[in-house]
């Protein structure tokens, strides 16, 4: 609980790189160091986009260091006129310092906020920068974000030999694991090479003695066809677009298939930065596709009477890559996972429609096959919608099972909590905000759906009730009938609760992937402990947090009495406690369930839940079981 005393002495000003060290999760992904590598890599790629770099090398060294080198112009080494330090020191030590704000030095760039490499410096044990520029080689070093040695000339190089090499060792205290996720990194490096034709990217993993080189002349088309290897595509030649304007560009490639793999290719990029949550360029792409196909269908009378297709119908069987380039893109946050540049949407939409309209009218037979796939998707969606509506009218206001519905129908605010057990469900009903929060108690562990088809799992009454409540049937990508904007898994903080949460995550990943991709699935983080010290009350998610809180309380004057309560389950919490810790948007903690083309979610779920992987699971448990903390 906060101190009642509040005056000027309580105001703290963070300077230099302290904000990053204090709250690293606001600046980077703290699950592993991959995002640090991406921040350094993006600066090198920006040099390539501007025509000053043709080679980038990434090395994972045996001693835990990571090295990224390029043959660009090299960071500035002259003194900044205002700050009186070298350009390279300013870039590494000061937040929001960079050459990409005005657009004068870089037409298109990914590093926009000027915090990328300074974040890398702040979160690294050691970091050194070597700059080759103007026939000289310069070196500067840092420890924990602080300058360890001044910038100095350390040698001479050829006049045409220029570039920057950054070598750093991530500080393990800021990351859940200090191991680089190599598979995801290689996927990113390959994508960068695809999206920047003429750029050679070399990767070297010293620990595994692995070397890979990527260089693509054909760009997106070859990338799509390589990714779709083994999948029968509808079009013999994928549709390719390349449209340039004064301050923005669009490239995309798209094809369709009758049978798509679990991990179908649907990637979007802005200035070569992967935008995992899409944004305005993806929305413009969808809008242009839909407008072109609707126009084609209406002109040729292909649509059945009364049937309307939407963008998800057009993309339900599609694989595609969209790459946008624009000056001063507006991202939703520092990790740049979603583009918010509204003006770019109309450019992408109009360009996509023009390209696809011309293509459809010159490839009418193949166009009709694409239209047929969209029509089939729309018809399936219409049938699902009718099923859900009939269930709604049959069930009445109460809907299925023990669902306690909310009053609002606005997806921007409605929330459904899937609560473990009737006891916790009763408390949650009292704790909720009835206007926008709905509660649905679950009967313990649901069916393991990971190896099952969507048509089979609907036979389970629990899953049938759940699907009717959210308004979407398993396996359906159309979310037009979705009843809640957020679906929150609320289970106990013990091992059984984690098991239930894992089974629900598997259900959504396998059978409701569109909900996950739209960022609508969340996992609530209920506390395991309540710690009382006088009038102060704090909650802890786990033993580590409990010990930290107890230690802070012990440091108080007067040796106060500390009481620790361990919750055996959510049912032990009274409604006010439940409201404060897991339901109030101002005080709760939610973790968003998300996936990306580069993660290993499917392989991990296969290992954990697939019946076919029992031997591998046993071996994994024997090897990793001792790491579990009881």
Catalytic residue among 47, 337, 492, 599: 492
Residue pair 272/327 in contact (Cβ under 8 Å)? The answer is: no
> In this structure, what DSSP letter does residue 580 have?
I
Q: Could you give the CA distance from residue 566 to residue 462 in angstroms, rounded to a whole number?
A: 30
Residue 146 bears catalytic tag: no
Q: Is 68 in contact with 166 (CB distance < 8 Å)? A: yes
The string of DSSP codes covering 32-101 is STHHHHHHHHHHHHHHHHTTS--EEEEEE-TTS-EEEEE-SS----SBPTTT-SBHHHHHHHSTT--S-S
DSSP class of residue 177 equals -
Report angle CA 421, 424, 427 to the nearest 5 degrees. 145
User: Which residue in this structure is represented by tokens 């835990």?
Assistant: 64
Separation between Cα atoms, residue 550 and residue 563, nearest integer Å: 9
Does residue 584 have an active-site annotation?
Answer: no
Does 494 qualify as catalytic in the annotation?
yes
CA angle 359, 364, 366 (to 5 degrees): 85
From 368, 494, 532, 584, active-site residue: 494
Alpha helix ranges (H) inside 100-216: 116-122, 182-195
What pairs with residue 153 in β-bridges?
138
492 catalytic, yes or no?
yes
Distance CA 160, CA 132 (A): 9
Q: Is 74 left (phi over 0), alpha (psi -120 to 50) or beta?
A: left
Helix (H) or strand (E) holding 282: helix 280-299
- Separation CA 47–CA 70 (nearest Å): 9
- Catalytically annotated residue among 42, 420, 478, 599: 420
| CA 354 vs CA 280, 292, 302, 361: distances in Å | 18, 8, 20, 11
- The region, left, alpha or beta by phi > 0 then psi within -120 to 50, assigned to residue 87 is alpha
Of 413, 496, 572, 606, the active-site residue reads: 496
Which residues are catalytically annotated? 420, 492, 494, 496
């Amino acid at each position: 609980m906060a101190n009642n005393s509040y005056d000027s002495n309580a105001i703290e000003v963070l300077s230099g790189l302290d904000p990053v060290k204090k709250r690293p999760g606001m600046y980077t992904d703290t699950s592993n160091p991959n995002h640090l590598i991406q921040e350094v890599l993006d600066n090198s790629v920006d040099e390539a986009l501007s025509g000053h770099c043709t080679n980038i090398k990434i090395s994972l060294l045996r001693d835990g260091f990571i090295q990224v080198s390029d043959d660009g112009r090299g960071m500035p080494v002259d003194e900044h006129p205002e700050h009186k330090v070298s350009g390279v020191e300013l870039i590494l030590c000061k937040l929001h310092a960079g050459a990409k704000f005005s657009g004068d030095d870089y037409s298109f760039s990914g590093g926009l906020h000027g915090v990328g490499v300074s974040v890398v410096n702040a979160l690294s044990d050691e970091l050194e920068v070597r700059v080759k520029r103007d026939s000289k080689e310069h070196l500067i070093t840092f420890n924990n974000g602080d300058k360890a040695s001044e910038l100095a000339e350390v040698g001479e190089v050829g006049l045409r030999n220029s570039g920057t090499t950054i070598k750093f060792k991530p500080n393990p205290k800021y990351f859940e694991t200090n191991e680089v996720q190599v598979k995801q990194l290689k996927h990113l490096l390959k994508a960068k090479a695809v999206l920047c034709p003429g750029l050679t990217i070399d990767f070297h993993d010293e620990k595994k003695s692995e070397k890979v080189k990527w260089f693509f002349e054909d760009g997106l088309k070859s990338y799509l066809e390589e990714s779709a290897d083994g999948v029968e595509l509808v079009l013999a030649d994928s549709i390719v677009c390349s449209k340039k304007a004064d301050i923005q560009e669009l490239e995309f490639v798209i094809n369709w298939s009758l049978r798509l793999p679990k991990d179908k290719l649907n990637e979007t990029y802005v200035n070569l930065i992967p935008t995992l949550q899409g944004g305005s360029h993806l929305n413009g792409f969808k809008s242009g596709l839909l407008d072109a196909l609707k126009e084609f269908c209406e002109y040729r009378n292909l649509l059945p009477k009364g049937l309307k297709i939407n963008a998800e119908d057009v993309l339900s069987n599609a694989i595609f890559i969209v790459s946008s380039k624009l000056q001063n893109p507006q991202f939703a946050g520092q990790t740049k996972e979603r583009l918010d540049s509204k003006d770019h949407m109309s450019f992408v939409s109009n360009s996509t429609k023009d390209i696809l309209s011309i293509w459809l009218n010159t490839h009418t037979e193949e166009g009709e096959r694409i239209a047929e796939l969209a029509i089939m998707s729309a018809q399936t969606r219409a049938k699902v919608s009718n099923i859900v509506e009939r269930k709604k009218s049959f069930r009445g206001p109460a809907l299925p099972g023990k669902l306690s519905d909310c009053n609002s129908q606005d997806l921007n605010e409605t929330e459904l909590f899937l609560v473990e057990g009737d006891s916790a469900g009763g408390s949650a009903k009292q704790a909720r905000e009835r206007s926008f929060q709905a509660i649905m108690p679950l009967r313990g562990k649901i069916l393991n759906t990971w190896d099952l088809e969507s048509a089979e799992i609907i036979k389970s009454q629990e899953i049938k009730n759940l699907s009717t409540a959210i308004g979407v049937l398993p396996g359906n990508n159309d979310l037009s009938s979705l009843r809640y904007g957020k679906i929150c898994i609320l289970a106990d903080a013990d091992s059984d609760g984690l098991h239930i949460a894992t089974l629900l995550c598997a259900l959504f990943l396998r059978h409701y992937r569109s909900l996950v991709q739209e960022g609508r699935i969340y996992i609530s983080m209920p506390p395991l402990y309540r710690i009382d010290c006088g009038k102060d009350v704090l909650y802890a998610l786990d033993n580590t947090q409990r010990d930290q809180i107890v230690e802070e309380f012990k440091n108080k004057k007067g040796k106060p009495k500390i009481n620790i309560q361990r919750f055996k389950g959510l049912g032990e919490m009274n409604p006010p406690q439940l409201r404060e810790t897991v339901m109030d948007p101002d005080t709760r903690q939610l973790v968003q369930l998300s996936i990306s083309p580069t993660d290993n979610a499917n392989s991990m779920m296969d290992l954990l839940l697939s019946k076919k992987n029992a031997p591998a699971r046993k071996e994994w448990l024997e090897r990793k079981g001792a790491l579990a903390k009881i």
